[in-house]
Chain A
Amino acid sequence: MISRPKTILKLSLFLLGLVISTSTQAYKSNLTSPINGQEPTDARIEEGSKLFASNCATCHAIDRKLIGPALSGVLAKYDDVDYVIDWIQNNAALISAGDPRAVEASKIDASAMNLFTNLSDDQVTSILMYIENGGDGDEPVAAEGGAAAPAEPVDESLFGKVNWGIVILSVLMFVILVLIVGIIELVSNITGRQIINWNNVNAFMMIVFVFIFFALVLYEYSVHKQFLLPEASSEHGIELDRMMKWTFMATIPVFFITQFLLFYFSFRYRHREGRKAYYYPHNNNLEYIWTTVPAVVLTILVLGGLKSWKNIVKSDPPANTTEIEVFAYQFGWQARYAGEDGKLGQADFNLISATNPLGVANLEYAKGLLVELEEEIKKIEERIAGLGKEEAKLRSTLGGLVGEERKKHLKEIESYASGEVRDDLELTIRARKTQIDRIKRSIEAAETADFYNGYGNDDQVVQEIHLVIGKPVTLRFRARDVIHSAYLPYFRAQMNVVPGLPTQFTFTPTKTTNEMRRLKSDPEWDYYLVCNKICGNAHFNMKLKVVVEQQSDYDKWLAEQGALFVKAEPEAPTEEATEATETEETETETENQTEEGLALN
């Protein structure tokens, strides 16, 4: 069942990893050759490790395929550092330019890799150094919290985890039991006399079952009690927990009583010779009682639920609330603070790009984006013109291929021949043109509409949320691609994050991260916001750190965060270029402006 040599190999690799990680000297001596002309140092690898954890680890592992492919040996595979760095920073540009390696790589998974134009060449090099030096060992996901599962990589096979003696013994006992029962049945068939009274056996087992069942329920409760409904860290959380307690008080007695009665009646009224059941078809009074009592109890629960629902979700946020935008995408979270003016700027999905991942409105940026989009269209058009050549090249390399590879190659040629590739590219152009139209219209309306109001210029986009203790906060949720759900179990808060539908959740944190760390006696502990609505392959790997702290710490942290658009002055050349393309385009594109539901305000 398990290939032994592989196990041994992995085992020795792990031991090697242990030796390496325990001694920094060994770690150093293991460093690889220079990457991108830069010497790998421990500091660079350390930096790479952090960058990897916050940018790559959601989808990639070093030594195995996760969502994306395993990354070890990536440099050797491509043997072109510049290409790898370009790919990491902006894979979309390489693909749309038709780079064959990029096009090939884009087929690994249906969903595309995120863009990382925010990472500098040096940062990417650090990540590569980290990857080339083997990562942190073979942890499955090197996310910052560290791998949680008490993984035992030493023991790779299931065989080691199971006590086979016990398994074999129980199987044997099972077989013997079945045989004995079979023999007894046979004998009772032959003699015509019932030897096992199954009715009594089962009745007896029913009553035994109910006690063991209750015992196990109580046992598990005692084991996991401390983890259930962990300390509520928000004001409304206490109210929610109270509601939970009431519901438990109403349901737990019912659970124990009805389950007990069910199995007790089964036992007590088992069939006996000569007895006749009591003919009792109905009793209206009884039925009234057990209709009314649940109805009353449920009414109380409904009233309690309505009251707390109104308090928690239905009411408007208080005036002194801090608004923070939480932005979800495949696969990660970002947050946006309002900056000095205390107002979140407008944002729109048409303005999203690698440099402005949240699509925050800024007139200069929007104009720049128009130029970029025009360039992209041009590139795609160029590629369409060269499709014939691409196809011819594919056909010329067909000879010599066999088996699977040939099939794959033929399929690729077919996608060119049938016009599929061209259709895709033309659809992309159409989508870009629509996007350009929308942005242009928003720019035209800039004077009158409240969209480019400049509130967004000082907004701060951050990778973790900081909250002030005792101060209400309203999280405004926005999704880029599919539905996500922001789940903050300690704050008793959850709300879906829906593309095209703004949602929000208001709460007041009551315990700082430090307090919770003391409470849990775990100095590493942190609050997290996790994704709780299936959103794609890396759904299980999306989290956002939440820090609750005192006002002073919060202010200090916030001051360190840079504003989104630092350049308030417009750059003259960009504007000119935009205007030039704008006039060109408006002539050709006016007919296409059929889209009614303008998304931009």
Chain B
Amino acid sequence: MSTATAHADHHLKETFISKYVFSMDHKMISKQFLITGIIMGVIGMGMSIAFRLQLAWPDTSFPILEWLFGRWAPDGKLDPGFYMGLVTIHGTIMVFYVLTAGLSGTFANLLIPLQCGARDMASPFMNMLSYWFFFLSSVVLLSSVFVETGPASGGWTIYPPLSALPKAMAGSGAGMTLWLVAIILFIASSLLGGINYISTVLNMRTKGMTMTRLPLTIWALFLTAVLGLLSFPVLLGGGLLLMFDRGFGTSFYLSDIWLNGAGALEHTGGSPILFQHLFWFLGHPEVYIIIMPALGITSEVIAVNARKPIFGYTAMVISLLGIAFLSFIVWGHHMFITGMNPMLGTAFLITTLIIAVPSAVKTFNYLATLWRGNIRFTNGMMFAIGLVSMFISGGLTGIFLGNATLDIQLHDTYFVVAHFHIVMGSAAIFGMMAGIYHWYPKMFGRLMNKPLGYLHFWMTFISAYLVFFPMHFMGLAGVPRRYYSFTLLPEYGVWMDVNVLITSAAILGGIAQLIFLYNFFSSIWFGKKSSENPWQATTLEWTTPVEHIHGNWPGEIPTVHRWAYDYSKPGYEEDFIMQTTPDDGQEEQLFETETSPSAPDKKDVPEGETVMFWALIKKWFGSARA
């Protein structure tokens, strides 16, 4: 694209609606995703504090709960059914709306075009649709809290028959229908986004940006999109079949049920386990859909702020690929004791523990990157280190839960709650925060307040550990999760003071997020103005002007000459070398031919031209490194 057309784009007349609402600019869409995600995160966290109050002080009346939830919290105490509803919606919001859409949506949209060197996404219109499907989905999900029978309350995993029978639980009525509608909209959003991310990464990288020169963020976001594209449709199928069972009398998941108040049901021949297979076929890759972008962001932030190349780039990419592949064949470890054939248990035990190897490699590589670095503790860097710490703590407990034998004892106890809240909850949130602090100057052209950021980090970090670490001990003692109150057995009483500690820490964590919210929103208008490359990073996004323009670069898209991690390279004055800096004489032949003047610009490929498969493969994956 020539300079002239870029300028023409820039001067297009923009209305408020086309700029801020139905925007097709990837940078604006990423901000929309981020802010929606933050709002959903605040709601999700608020819900968790509400139900933690019940667990810590079961006999105390909290008028604020009655004020918030009305008849669901008579006398300021949560109703057991609504407690379950809160748990369910908290889980759904956090897993899908914050850590999938809020994290991938934000950073894939922002970084894929900027770090690959593209003017925008492959299909800006689909990109806009992706956001609006997501927005609609959020509204539908939240509306389920307001229906007469309450929100979906069978847990975020919505196992039938509980979720299929409105007479088994009030939340399985209209609330569940809305949940399913919301998730179907969400899947539509996720697929629209995913196709876009994949095609942008494969087709629209700038000259010289081979796959092996991509920053690890892009690798992570790319593989995340692939995972989402392959696994979300399965949940869509599972959800539709559940709708059929609920509405049209089919028996995919239902069999042999005598329901109180309804008697023997007509359904026969279905299997509840089938739903669990379909659900976890998405559900497990989903865990990696959540954590991989966070790991990618961390790789980038750690390398920039340790002023060192990320250690073992190839190993990092291979371990991402390994995790992405393996994540499809481990879903059964959620089902060891659900009545699944024990033979399958052995298979899933093996694959699950294998996936710990690439995860371990990533951790060691992070440590090696920090080693002999020159570490600048920016806010983003703090959160990136926090992620690594969480990833270690939570990853190790995965070795317990992945072992079918130990899962007999630990399944559905607080040990599980601790494990996934640390490894995919906190770790991913820390990755997201690292990303927000790191790319805030790119998004808003201003810097966030540093001391407040430090305060936010330390409060969040400490409270996250205080909340989730003691849960391991509860789980090892055999305390089941999803209990409304721990009055069933006298031995649960031992954990009363731990519950109080956890809830207090959760409130502290909530306060920390208020500091973040203040910092985030006030800095949009009052933050210190950022320079073009505030962190002295090497990647392409820092070559764009601070003020956002359509098409990202005012002139030509820069050409890439080297990988993204030339930090502190011996023999250079500066401790970083931009990817756009020519690599005198060291560039490889293959790369030269690819960018020879005769090669057509990727954007100018004439319509209808047949592209040979191998040519495509070479174009996408061709290596440029010696």
Most interface-central of B382, B389, B454 (chain A CB within 10 A): B389
Enumerate chain B residues within 8 angstroms of A310, measured Cβ to Cβ. Answer: 346
With A181-B451, A282-B314: A291-B269 Cβ-Cβ less than 8 Å: no
Instruction: List the one stretch of B136-144, B348-356, B425-433 in contact with chain A.
Output: B348-356
CA distance A270 to B306 in the complex (A): 8
A/B interface sample: 12 pairs, CB < 8 A: A114-B260, A156-B60, A227-B477, A254-B396, A276-B575, A280-B372, A282-B313, A302-B403, A313-B408, A482-B165, A495-B337, A538-B80
A137: CB under 8 A from chain B? no
Verify B399–A298 contact, CB threshold 8 A. Answer: yes
Flag if B375 contacts A287 (CB, 8 Å): no
User: Could you list which residues of chain B lie within 8 angstroms of chain A, going by C-beta atoms?
Assistant: 57-64, 74-75, 77, 79-81, 84, 149, 153-155, 159, 161-162, 165-170, 172-173, 251, 254-266, 268-273, 306-315, 337-339, 342-343, 345-346, 349-350, 353-354, 356-357, 360-361, 363-368, 370-377, 382, 385, 388-389, 392-393, 396-397, 399-400, 403-406, 408-409, 411-413, 450-451, 454-455, 458, 461-462, 465, 469-470, 473, 476-478, 480-494, 496, 498, 565, 567-570, 575
Q: Which residue of A lies closest to B405 (CB)?
A: A308
A111 touching B260 by the CB < 8 A rule? yes
Other-chain residue from B172, B494, B575 in contact with A277 (beta carbon distance below 8 A) = B575
Known: A148-B488, A206-B385, A251-B396. A483 touches B349 (CB 8 A): no
Inter-chain contact B268/A599, CB cutoff 8 Å:
yes
Do residues B486 and A111 form an inter-chain contact, with CB atoms below 8 A?
Answer: no
Given A145-B490, A148-B488, A301-B399, the answer on whether A111 and B162 have CB atoms closer than 8 Å is: no
**Is there a chain B Cβ closer than 8 Å to A371's Cβ?**
no
What is the minimal beta-carbon distance from B279 to any residue of chain A, in angstroms?
13
Chain A residue at smallest Cβ distance from B312: A282
Residue A164 CB within 8 A of the other chain: no
Instruction: Report A528-551 CB contacts with B as 1/0, cut-off 8 Å.
Output: 101111111111111100000000
**A239 to B259 CA separation, bound complex (whole angstroms):** 39
Does A243 interact with chain B (Cβ within 8 Å)? yes
- Of the candidates A247, A314, A493, A500, the one whose C-beta lies within 8 Å of that of B255 is A500
In the complex, the answer to whether B478 meets A305 with C-beta atoms within 8 Å is no
How far apart are the CA atoms of A298 and B309 in the complex, in Å? 29
A566: Cβ under 8 A from any B Cβ: no
Instruction: From the candidates B165, B404, B465, B483, name the one contacting A309 in the complex (CB within 8 A).
Output: B404
**Which single residue of chain B is at the shortest CB-CB distance from A200?**
B377
Least Cβ distance of A244 to chain B in Å? 6
Binds B, one of A25-33, A60-68, A128-136, A442-450: A60-68
How far, in angstroms, from A482 to B257 measured CA to CA in the complex? 8
Tell me, rounded to whole Å, the shortest Cβ–Cβ distance linking A143 to chain B.
7
Bound form: Cα–Cα A556–B393 in Å? 51
Q: Which residue of B lies closest to A432 (CB)?
A: B263
Contact of A302 among B308, B353, B385 (CB under 8 A): B353
Which chain A positions have C-beta within 8 A of B450?
A: 198
The complex places the Cα of A487 from the Cα of B480 at a distance, in Å, of 9
Query: Given A290-B360, A352-B264, A498-B273, do A282 and B409 touch, yes or no (CB 8 Å)?
Result: no
Contact B353 A494 (CB under 8 A): no
Q: Among A37-45, A256-264, A452-460, A557-565, which stretch is in contact with chain B?
A: A256-264
- Segment at the interface with B among A47-55, A213-221, A385-393, A581-589: A213-221
Please tell me if the beta carbons of A298 and B354 are within 8 angstroms of each other in the complex: yes
Distance in angstroms from A35 CB to nearest chain B CB is 27
Given A314-B343, A501-B272, A64:B75 Cβ within 8 A: yes
- In the complex, the chain B residue whose C-beta lies closest to that of A331 is B260
Q: What's the Cα separation between A140 and B77 when bound, in Å? A: 12
- Please give me the residue from chain B that is nearest to A91 by CB atom: B261
> Which A-chain residue is minimally distant from B388 (CB atoms)?
A262
Q: Are B484 and A279 in contact (CB under 8 A)?
A: no
Q: Is the CB of A431 within 8 A of B168?
A: no
Known contacts A110-B167, A153-B59, A279-B308; is-contact A198 B488 (Cβ 8 Å): no
What CA separation (Å) do A67 and B262 show in the bound complex?
A: 18
Q: Given that A266-B385, A431-B262 are known contacts, is A543 also in contact with B167, CB under 8 Å in the complex?
A: no
A292-316 Cβ-contact flags toward B at 8 Å (1 or 0) = 0011001001101110111011100
B408 surroundings in chain A (CB, below 8 A): 240, 312-313, 492-494
The CA of A2 and the CA of B489, in the complex, are separated in Å by 30
Closest to B251 in A: A597
Q: Which of A464-505 contact B (CB under 8 A)?
A: 480-483, 485, 487, 489-490, 492-496, 498-501, 503
Task: Flag if A313 contacts B404 (CB, 8 Å).
Answer: yes
Known: A230-B478, A272-B374, A277-B567. A261 touches B367 (CB 8 A): yes
B403 touches A247 (CB 8 A): yes
Q: Is the CB of A66 within 8 A of B314?
A: no
The chain A residue sitting closest to B450, CB to CB, is A198
Q: Please tell me if the beta carbons of B376 and A534 are within 8 angstroms of each other in the complex.
A: no
Do residues B168 and A149 form an inter-chain contact, with CB atoms below 8 A? no
Residue pair A149, B484 in contact (C-beta under 8 Å): no
**B399/A282 in contact, CB under 8 A:** no
With beta carbons under 8 angstroms apart, the residue of B263, B353, B465 that contacts A435 is B263
- Answer whether A152 and B338 are a contact pair too, CB < 8 Å, given A205-B458, A254-B396: no
Which residue on chain A has the smallest CB distance to residue B64?
A: A1
Q: Interface digits, A329-361 against B, CB 8 Å rule (1 contact, 0 not)? A: 110000000000000000011101000000100
Please, how many angstroms separate the alpha-carbon atoms of A92 and B258 in the complex? 13
- Given A250-B399, A494-B409, the answer on whether A202 and B268 have CB atoms closer than 8 Å is no
User: Is there contact, CB below 8 Å, between A305 and B403?
Assistant: yes
Within 8 A of B (CB), among A108-153: 109-115, 140-141, 143, 145-153
Instruction: A548 to B349: give the CA distance in the assembly, Å.
Output: 32
Task: Kindly name the residue among B161, B306, B461 whose own CB sees the greatest number of chain A CB atoms within 10 A.
Answer: B161
- Say how far B336's CB is from chain A's closest CB, in angstroms: 8
A415 lies within 8 A of chain B by Cβ: no
A145 to B311 CA separation, bound complex (whole angstroms): 57
Given contacts A265-B373, A305-B349, A431-B264, contact A532 B413 (CB under 8 A): yes
Residues of B near A145 (CB, < 8 A) are: 488-490
Cross-chain contact A278 with B308 (CB below 8 angstroms): yes
Q: Check B392–A255 contact: CB distance below 8 A.
A: yes
Decide: B257 and A349 in contact? CB cutoff 8 A.
Answer: yes
Given contacts A64-B77, A540-B488, contact A481 B370 (CB under 8 A): no
Q: Is the CB of B162 within 8 A of A483?
A: yes
Cross-interface CB contact of B405 among A157, A182, A309, cutoff 8 Å = A309
Chain A residue contacts of B60, Cβ below 8 A: 156-158, 161
Q: Does A567 contact B (CB under 8 A)?
A: no
Name, among B162, B255, B366, B382, the residue most crowded by chain A CB atoms within 10 Å (CB to CB): B162
Q: Which residues of A contact B161 (CB under 8 A)?
A: 481-483, 499
Decide yes or no whether A78 CB sits under 8 A from chain B.
no
A538→B75 CA distance, assembly (Å):
19
